[in-house]
C-alpha cells in the first residue's frame, strides 16, 4: 500500500489495499471495458462503500472474496451498475440533433426510402433515456413523415438501473434546465408535466426500445442503422477497445449513415469508410444522398 493510500485509509470506514483496488479494476475492465487508473481509487471507493454497508461487510477483503465465490455472478451486476458513469442530459451537444433533423428529413424524401419505409436509430450507451427520448421528440415534431414509417430507436446500455429509468420515462422537471428553447418545445410537446415531473408520452415511448447490451459482447441486431449515437461512452475505454468499437459501428451503419460521438471523442484515424462531416459527426461513405 502506498503512503498516500495509507493516509486516506485512516479516514475511511473500509480499508482498500492497492492489491484489492487492482483486483476490482481488473474485473471492471474485463466486464465492461472501463479503464480505472490509480487516480480513480477514491471514486471506486465512494461508489462501492454503500454496497459494502448494504451487504453488512467490514472490509473490501470480504467484498473481493464474494467476487471470487460461487455467488460472484449475481454480484457483478451490482458492481457494474455502481461503476458506470451515467451522466446525461436531454439534447446534450445539440448540434447533433440539428444534423439528425436534416439527415432524416432528406431520407424522408428519398424515393427508394419512401418505398422501403424503414428508419433505424441506435443510441448505444443510452444511460437513463434522455438521449433516445431527445431523438424521438425531435423526429416526432420535425420529421413526422418518417415517424409514420416503421421507425425505431434502439436504446442500449449495460446498467440495468438506468434502463429501468428509461423504460419508465419519468424525469424530474429540472431536466429542462439548460435545454435550448427550440429543443425544449420538442420535448414538452412529447411529455405530460405533472407534480414537478415529466412523463414521456406514449408515442415517444413506443418509438424507443430499451435493451441491455454490453458493447464489448456480440451484437444481436441483424440489420443496419441509419444513425448511431455513441456519445460519452468511448472515453471510458482504452484505445484498442475504442478502435474496435468504431469499426464495428461502421459495419453496422447503412451507406450514407451518420455516427455521432461525444465532444471529447474525436477519432485520430477513423476507419476508411468513415468521413468526418462536422464536429464529432461522421458519415459512412457510399450513400446516395
> Which residues of the chain form contacts with ligand SAM (CB under 6 A)?
32-34, 84-89, 92, 125-127, 131, 157-159, 162, 214-216, 231-233, 236, 262
Q: Which residues pair with 278 in a beta bridge?
A: 281
Measured from the CB of residue 58, what is the shortest distance to ligand SAM in angstroms?
A: 29
Rg of the chain on CA atoms, in Å: 21
In the complex, minimum distance from the CB of residue 161 to ligand SAM, in angstroms, rounded to a whole number? 9
Closest by Cα among 41, 60, 42 to 52:
60
User: In the complex with ligand SAM, which residue's Cβ is closer, 141 or 156?
Assistant: 156
Shortest Å distance, C-beta 46 to ligand SAM:
17
Beta strands 197-200 and 170-172 are antiparallel
Residue 40: Cβ within 10 Å count: 17
Residues identified as active-site: 47, 157
- Judged by beta carbon, residue 37 or residue 56, the one nearer ligand SAM is 37
Phi, psi of 206 (to 5 degrees): -70, -25
Closer residue to ligand SAM (CB): 20 or 130: 130
Cα–Cα–Cα angle for 228, 264, 80, rounded to 5 degrees: 70
Kindly state the smallest distance separating residue 101's Cβ from ligand SAM, in Å.
Answer: 18
Q: Cα(279)–Cα(59) distance, rounded to whole angstroms?
A: 46
Quote the DSSP letter at residue 178: T
To ligand SAM, the closest distance from the beta carbon of 245 in angstroms equals 9
The DSSP call for residue 143 is: -
Q: Which is nearer to ligand SAM, 17 or 161 (CB)?
A: 161
Q: How far apart are CA 190 and CA 179, in angstroms?
A: 15
The neighbouring-strand residues paired with 284 are: 274
- Sheet of 150-157, strands arranged across: 208-212, 150-157, 118-124, 225-230, 253-261, 281-284, 274-278
> Phi first, then psi: what are they for 150, rounded to 5°?
-80, 85
Smallest gap from Cβ 122 to ligand SAM, in A, equals 11
Between 15 and 85, CB nearer to ligand SAM: 85
Q: Which is nearer to ligand SAM, 166 or 257 (CB)?
A: 166
Amino acid at each position: 500500500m502506498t503512503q498516500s493510500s495509507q493516509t486516506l485509509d485512516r479516514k475511511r470506514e473500509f480499508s482498500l489495499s492497492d492489491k484489492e483496488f487492482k483486483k476490482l479494476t481488473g474485473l471492471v475492465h474485463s466486464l465492461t471495458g472501463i479503464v480505472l487508473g490509480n487516480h480513480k481509487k477514491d471514486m471506486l471507493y465512494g461508489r462501492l462503500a454503500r454496497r459494502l454497508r448494504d451487504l453488512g461487510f467490514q472490509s473490501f477483503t470480504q467484498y473481493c472474496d464474494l467476487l471470487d465465490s460461487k455467488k460472484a455472478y449475481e454480484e457483478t451486476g451490482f458492481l457494474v451498475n455502481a461503476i458506470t458513469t451515467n451522466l446525461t442530459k436531454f439534447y446534450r451537444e445539440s448540434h447533433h440533433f440539428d444534423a439528425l433533423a436534416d439527415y432524416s428529413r432528406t431520407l424522408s424524401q428519398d424515393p427508394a426510402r419512401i418505398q422501403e419505409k424503414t428508419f433505424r436509430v441506435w443510441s448505444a450507451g443510452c444511460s437513463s433515456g434522455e438521449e433516445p427520448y431527445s431523438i424521438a421528440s425531435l423526429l416526432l415534431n420535425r420529421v413526422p413523415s418518417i415517424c409514420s414509417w416503421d421507425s425505431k430507436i434502439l436504446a442500449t446500455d449495460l446498467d440495468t438501473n438506468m434502463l429501468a429509468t428509461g423504460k419508465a420515462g419519468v424525469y424530474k422537471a429540472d431536466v429542462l434546465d439548460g435545454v435550448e428553447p427550440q429543443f425544449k418545445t420538442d420535448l414538452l410537446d412529447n411529455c405530460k408535466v405533472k407534480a414537478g415531473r415529466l412523463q414521456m408520452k406514449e408515442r415517444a415511448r413506443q418509438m424507443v426500445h430499451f435493451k441491455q447490451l454490453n458493447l464489448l459482447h456480440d451484437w444481436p441486431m441483424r440489420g443496419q442503422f441509419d444513425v448511431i449515437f455513441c456519445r460519452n461512452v468511448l472515453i471510458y475505454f482504452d484505445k484498442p477497445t475504442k478502435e474496435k468499437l468504431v469499426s464495428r459501428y461502421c459495419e453496422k451503419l447503412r451507406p450514407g449513415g451518420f455516427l455521432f460521438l461525444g465532444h471529447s471523442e474525436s477519432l485520430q484515424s477513423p476507419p476508411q469508410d468513415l468521413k468526418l462531416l462536422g464536429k464529432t459527426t461522421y458519415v459512412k461513405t457510399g450513400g446516395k444522398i
